[in-house]
């Protein structure tokens, strides 16, 4: 997490420094020629049934932090007024002296479209008749100390392609959704009891077109990407995609984690309607969509949220709370009702307007701890003298209660890297209310173990077993994300010890352990076919590797694991119930073999895993089992399609009365080097 912010900071502390802001230099002075509105503004939406004008109730609820559809009032909206079609603009700038609308439609002249102020909240609005969709605009803000700022629209639904920084007028109300079957089905599901294998994807670097003059970056449009990713994900067997970098951001190297347009899908890949098409198409193909969401911080770019009206509107005014020293970014003021409303409404915007199925909330720990990334003297204790951000705690409880309460079947996922208690606990029981949490502890221990020379694994056996001491304290997702394959950390395959073939065998064993372990799963793109290079946002994945035998065999193996996962409820129904997992032998450190059982709710089709993490074959291996039953081999890493020897072996094994692993019954199995065997019983 910290690496991506640091990288963005190194590339330019202000992440939009690559280009000048459209309209930044427009205008020669405010002057006195302001056009006065002579009558009350009554602006109607396209169906002519709803008044858009900022009213007293809008201001009241926004001030209370409970105007959950404020994005329908603030921003730019196609509208009618006095029989004329045009666009209605509204912005919150409470400490501005005056605000005017500037754009390519008025020559960026600050005197042409002054905006009317609405108190007590300090909202401004204006209606511009005849304004076409696609028009570029900004707000010119005259500050209390006499400065003039050109700001993009915080609630704008689109922006021009970087390095331009203006907002763009669009209409997101006319898209015709066709995912009603998915949406109705989602309402009835409990995500914790459903299969969830997430494919984490950065759309701009998953695949690229050859660069052309029209498309120098080679980006796939959202619609092209929809068809390509849906086909691939269905073929592999993932249940969800998690999309990185969708909210508008100035700098590619930030990977989308320094946002300037919270209500705008990035224009790198097309229009908001194109993005709607992507979500709609994935839903039609029974694939869920999760977005990265970044309420932790925002960049200092001149056109963004930082000091929006010349004062700290969105961020804490005290730099000890309002800035991240390591990242060079601003921190949202979670004590301000309007700011919390901005963020909660934004989460609802993506879920309710764009139909996404959940949000993965970035850098939660940096929000919860007042001293996160700060030295002594760089932070302010709370009223009790502690380091917990009490305002942020209340924010998360409010956020998750509203989002999940209004949208049953969706998920709110915390990337929280500490041992903060009850992240997925109920708010009424002093929990934060998230649906799930990334299991960062498991990830660190797992990778440390997998990097070891197999000889030394016997001395580090507990790295793979320790996680079960806390697995049921939260509702976890096991993650091998983008953060683990960047900044000299190596790709997954190159983390593995040994020579060429050993690396692939190790990785298959590791992925098998991950799949069998309780918790939902996430794997970053490219690691399913053993991408050799570290990931870079500047290039596409190394798809050419699939012409090489070991790489397509690895892809086959991951596909087989995902198929096994979806076909056997034992692997996901009881992720959060201790009855769903049972060690057979957690202490075979001398041979570095792990054996365990995943139990289904019904007691049928339980799965027994046996995984060998050394290059030593065990042809006489015996495993203890709970019943004198027939055990059917349903997955063997030794199959030729996975790069194994292809040695013939029985499909079924009869347990006999012979004590092993502290159990009265057992059966023998010819376990190969780095062998994985999964049995159904």
DSSP 492: H
- According to DSSP, the β-strands at 98-103 and 113-114 are antiparallel
Please measure the distance between the N-terminal and C-terminal CA atoms of the chain and give it in whole angstroms. Answer: 41
Judge whether 661 and 585 are in contact, CB under 8 Å.
yes
- Joined tokens for residue 556: 């086959």
Looking up tokens 């990407």 gives 225
Selecting among 252, 307, 362, 416, the annotated active-site residue is 362
Give the HSE-up count for residue 65: Cα atoms under 13 Å, Cβ half-sphere: 16
Does residue 651 carry a catalytic annotation?
A: no
* 35 secondary structure, DSSP code: P
Contact yes or no for 151/70 (Cβ under 8 A): no
- Distances, alpha carbon 674 to alpha carbons 69, 207, 552, 618, 637, in Å: 54, 32, 19, 10, 8
Backbone angles phi, psi at 25, to 5 degrees: -100, 5
- Tell how many helices (H) and how many strands (E) occur in the chain: 16, 30
Cβ within 8 Å of residue 58, ≥6 positions away: 67, 70, 73, 123
Reply yes or no on whether 415 is catalytic: yes
Backbone torsions φ then ψ of 123, nearest 5 degrees: -100, 145
- Give the Cα separation of 456 and 470 in Å (integer): 25
Tokens describing residue 491: 């790709």
- How many C-beta atoms surround the C-beta of residue 525 within 10 A? 24
* 273, containing H or E segment: helix 272-284
How far apart, in whole angstroms, are the C-alpha atoms of residue 121 and residue 93?
Answer: 8
What 3-state class would DSSP assign to 584? strand
CA-wise closest residue to 411 among 443, 433, 382: 433
**Which residue in the list 142, 273, 315, 415 is annotated as catalytic?**
415
Cα gap 251→261, rounded to integer Å? 12
Contact 397, 430 (CB under 8 A): no
The rounded Cα 154 to chain-centroid distance in angstroms is 21
Instruction: Give catalytic residues, as residue numbers.
Output: 362, 415
């Amino acid at each position: 997490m910290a690496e991506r912010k640091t990288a963005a900071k190194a590339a330019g502390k202000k992440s939009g420094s690559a280009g000048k802001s459209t309209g930044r230099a427009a205008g020669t002075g405010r002057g006195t020629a302001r056009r006065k509105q002579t009558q009350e503004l009554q602006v109607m939406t396209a169906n002519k049934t709803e008044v858009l004008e900022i009213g007293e109730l809008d201001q009241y609820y926004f001030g209370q932090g409970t105007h959950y559809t404020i994005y329908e009032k603030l921003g730019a909206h196609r509208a009618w007024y006095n029989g004329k079609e045009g666009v209605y603009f509204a912005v919150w700038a409470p400490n501005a002296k005056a605000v005017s609308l500037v754009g390519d439609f008025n020559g960026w002249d600050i005197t042409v479209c002054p905006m009317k102020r609405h108190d007590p909240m300090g909202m401004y609005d204006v209606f511009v008749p005849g304004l076409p969709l696609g028009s570029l605009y900004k707000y010119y803000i005259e500050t209390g100390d006499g400065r003039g700022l050109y700001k993009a629209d915080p609630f704008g639904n689109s922006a021009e392609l970087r390095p331009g920084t203006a907002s763009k007028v669009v209409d997101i109300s006319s898209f015709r959704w066709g995912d009603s079957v998915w949406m109705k089905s989602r309402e009835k599901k409990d995500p914790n009891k459903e299969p969830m294998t997430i494919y984490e994807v950065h759309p701009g670097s998953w695949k690229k077109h050859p660069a052309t003059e029209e498309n120098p970056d080679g980006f796939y449009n959202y619609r092209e990407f929809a068809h390509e990713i849906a086909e691939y994900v269905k073929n592999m067997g993932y249940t969800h995609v998690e999309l990185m970098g969708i909210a508008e951001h100035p700098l590619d190297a930030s990977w989308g984690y320094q946002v300037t347009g919270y209500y705008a899908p990035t224009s790198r890949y097309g229009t908001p309607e194109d993005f709607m098409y992507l979500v709609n198409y994935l839903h039609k193909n029974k694939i869920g969509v999760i977005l990265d969401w970044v309420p932790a911080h925002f960049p200092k770019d001149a056109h963004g949220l930082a000091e929006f009206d010349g004062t700290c509107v969105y961020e804490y005014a005290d730099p000890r709370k309002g800035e991240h020293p390591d990242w060079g970014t601003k921190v949202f003021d979670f004590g301000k009702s309007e700011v919390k409303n901005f963020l909660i409404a934004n989460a609802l915007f993506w879920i309710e307007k764009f139909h996404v199925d959940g949000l993965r909330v970035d850098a939660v720990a940096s929000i919860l701890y007042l001293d996160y990334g700060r030295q002594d003297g760089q932070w302010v204790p709370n009223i009790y003298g502690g380091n917990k951000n009490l305002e942020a705690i209340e924010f998360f409880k409010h956020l998750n209660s509203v989002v999940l309460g209004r949208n049953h079947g969706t998920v709110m996922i915390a990337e929280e890297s500490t041992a903060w208690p009850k992240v997925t606990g109920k708010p009424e029981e002093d929990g934060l209310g998230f649906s799930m949490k990334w299991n960062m502890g498991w990830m660190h221990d797992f990778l440390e173990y997998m990097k070891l020379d197999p000889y030394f694994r016997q001395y580090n056996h507990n790295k793979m077993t320790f996680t079960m001491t806390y697995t049921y304290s939260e509702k976890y997702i096991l993650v091998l994300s983008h953060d683990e394959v960047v900044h000299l950390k190596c790709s997954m395959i190159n983390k593995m010890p040994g020579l060429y073939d050993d690396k692939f065998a190790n990785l298959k064993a590791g992925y098998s352990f991950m799949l069998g372990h309780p918790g939902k799963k996430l794997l970053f793109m490219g690691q399913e076919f053993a991408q050799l290079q570290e990931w870079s946002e500047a290039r596409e994945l190394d798809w050419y590797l699939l012409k090489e035998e070991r790489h397509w065999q690895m892809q086959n193996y991951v596909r087989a694991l995902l198929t096994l996962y979806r076909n056997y409820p034992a692997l996901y129904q009881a992720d959060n119930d201790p009855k769903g997992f049972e060690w057979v032998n957690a202490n075979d450190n001398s041979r570095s073999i792990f054996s365990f059982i995943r139990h289904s709710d019904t007691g049928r089709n339980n799965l027994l895993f046996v995984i060998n993490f050394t290059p030593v074959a065990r042809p006489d291996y015996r495993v203890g089992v709970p019943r004198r039953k027939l055990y059917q081999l349903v997955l063997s890493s030794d199959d030729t399609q996975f790069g194994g020897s292809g040695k013939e072996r029985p499909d079924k094994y009869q347990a006999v009365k012979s004590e092993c692993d502290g159990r009265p019954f057992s059966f023998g199995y010819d376990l190969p080097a780095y062998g994985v065997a999964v049995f159904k019983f």
